[in-house]
Structure 1
């Protein structure tokens, strides 16, 4: 389905101060990289050229401009195989300059959470991700609605406050 929503790269390039990402699902549509990991293939983290992705460069460039990029994941425990893989590949996110934290879902019960994953740019522009039941992206939506932005900001910060930094979260 074609989308009139600006691409992630465009939104991040326009971002000046902060970009936060909240992930709430325990699995997403499988990718080639996930399937390779399931087959036992592992990344040679010392050979950055072999795994560096254009996304990683976008993040590095934004951080170099002074944008603080934070990602928080709310996960069920024991974690799904997909989350186990995400934890493994988060090394790339951190190397690129993202700050990443993990919150076990049981510790999120008292947090009012939005129904969808999102990116929030500069605390004002929200890109909401809509997924099908099997984790495939259906569409993205942009909103600047103040009430929605406030809910998502508050939810992200509450998750961030309780979550463990990536290097401390063990699965």
Structure 2
């Protein structure tokens, strides 16, 4: 399967990411360290991501990330919120949508990335938020799915609160 950085490198206009879980990979070392009260510089911690995003932005690709979250937020979402400075400083636009405001939005069953109008990179997680061996599924031949993902993302984006204004 094509790597994420290659998909982003091929994008010409946009890359959008919709996240809909309240926790992911709870054994992530940076999350575990945060829970212990350790501090870190998220921009330096995720420098490769920052550089990848900045390269795409330099080519004119807009990168937007929307997160549907339950309130009060989980510990994992609080950590995401605190480390989102990395995403914003890299140049991503990030918004948060409280789950109660998403009830009437038709949503796909999984998190995803959509590059331009296609392909869709579906993110699969198990019940504990871990990535299974086949944690990604690239779908580049389903215009109906791409249209659902695009409309779902735009509906969420329209209602969501910009990171700079959201307070968990």
TM, length-normalised to structure 2? 0.94
Give the aligned partner of residue 94 of structure 1.
88
| Structure 1 residues 77-119: Cα deviation after superposition (integer angstroms, max 9, x where no partner) | 0000000000000000000010000000000001001110000
* Structure 1 position 157 matched with structure 2 position 154: yes
How much has 1:53 moved relative to structure 2? 1.9
CA distance in 2, matches of 1:131, 1:43: 26
CA distance in 1, matches of 2:65, 2:123: 14
Give the aligned partner of residue 142 of structure 1.
138
Structure 2: segments with no counterpart, 5+ residues: none
* Structure 1 position 129 matched with structure 2 position 126: no
Give the aligned partner of residue 24 of structure 2.
28
Q: How does 1:1-171 map to 2 (within 5 A)?
A: 5-30=1-26, 31-44=28-41, 50-138=44-132, 139-144=135-140, 145-171=142-168
> Counterpart of 1:152 in 2: which secondary structure?
helix
Where does structure 1 differ by over 6 angstroms across 4 or more consecutive aligned residues?
A: none
* Deviates further, 7-16 or 17-26: 7-16
| Structure 1 residues 1-24: Cα deviation after superposition (integer angstroms, max 9, x where no partner) | xxxx21111110111110000000
CA distance in 2, matches of 1:103, 1:169: 9
Q: Size of the alignment, in residue pairs?
A: 164
TM, length-normalised to structure 1? 0.92
How much has 1:137 moved relative to structure 2? 1.3
Structure 1: segments with no counterpart, 5+ residues: none
How much has 1:44 moved relative to structure 2? 4.3
How much has 1:41 moved relative to structure 2? 1.2
